[in-house]
A and B are shown apart, each in its own frame.
Chain A
């Protein structure tokens, strides 16, 4: 890893099984960056994120994420790479049969935390960051959509990640709540954690202007302007 660089892809080709999804990808994300990732459905946004969190291999080119060389990423290293990433995905929701606290404890135990006092302290810390300290004992169905998404973000923050990957984090939320969530993500990026948000919501991009990258026609376009 060089300097503040969290993600660096050089001339990377990305295949989804046998299909070339993106080619010649060059991408550079530094500590504290906030990046919008846009593109039509099927344009390769999710595939790009999968490469970053080690679910897809790099077919050609070189890249690193959080200090791991992606082209040489060993299967045994993938869990440790993911502990440096925070993942906020649509199909990775809270576990509905347990409280907010238990959801967070589950993730912490799965990632090697063993000390009860440290676990409790860290849970209160991340819930404080997302403004939900009082909801510790609530079940997911007792929370609003926005609150649930905040808990998901809190979960992503547990291991103090270097970058948060958020795929449509405002997909099911009303405009006001969406803005609250993006504001929270912006605050997180200002504290030094890079944030990549994949979205189709151009309104919210206009409200929170930032660097935009776009997946289009098998390429990743940098510094895109939207109308």
Chain B
């Protein structure tokens, strides 16, 4: 929002403040609104934290999945140019994230490094095959995806064997599914609780204005006219609460990155931007909708119900 827009909204809200604050003293009303905004901010902070945890968990799962290696061992008769041609084809495959060519010599050097002795000299020849290391995109890094991919590859006469750690993929996917389920269930419960909390806070704030609402009805104000300033305030409070929550979230992220520098691997500004936008949208929606429901409730009440 530009400063000019902010100023206009502020002055508009100030005009409506008169309709809004009349029955209670300004100080008491301000206290109620400050506590409402902070109540909303705390709930949005929790939602935002959950969002950030989800983003990190999702990126961690993607990171792990995209580091699963498929080793494609080539037939001994295959020429290097044919293998490099195959690598080009694989690079163009939408399932593949990255490929790496490993020549016979490189494979031997790697194994020598691992074993700590020169096995080529001992055997008198290099028994290893040239190979391609394939890293699949996260969406395909499951056994079904890999098996399909493997079947396609095996049709190629250049390919002798495709190897990957099937049990590791099984285990990893099972764990990710369990963790995702737990987070989703937790998020669902949390959102319901959050809505209930914000709704309750707003209902209490509007309860303190019930006689004003009734007075406005008695002089002949339409429901729309009565609702409007309350709704604007509801939206304004949701926005303020969201901004407070986002400031705290950014602080939390900064602190977390200081403590665990490797977290940066799992972070992307676009995804954080999405979480922050979602916090603003949820704040405005829940606060505005709860205000709408609460005001409607008091608009429907008969005068004698106000004293119960």
Contact = CB atoms under 8 A, between A and B. Distances in A.
Interface stretch (A106-114, A183-191, A215-223): A106-114
B34 interface: no
Contacts of A78: 217
Contacts, number: 58
B221 A79 contact: yes
Interface residues of B, number: 23
List the 9 closest pairs (A to B, CB-CB), nearest first: A82-B220, A110-B221, A83-B220, A95-B22, A79-B220, A79-B222, A107-B219, A111-B220, A110-B216
A110 B302 contact: no
B303 interface: yes
B215 A55 contact: no
Contacts of A111: 219-221
A61 B176 CA distance: 70
Interface of B: 18-19, 21-23, 25-26, 211-212, 215-223, 225-226, 302-304
Given A110-B19, A110-B225, A97 B220 contact: no
The prevalent SS among residues of A at the interface is mixed
Q: Which of B23, B218, B303 has the most CB of A within 10 A?
A: B218
A16 B304 contact: yes
A80 interface: yes
A92 B220 contact: no
A42 to B, nearest CB: 12
Contacts of B217: 78-79, 82
A112 B222 CA distance: 9
B220 A55 contact: no
A102 B22 CA distance: 10
A109 B216 CA distance: 10
Contacts of A80: 220
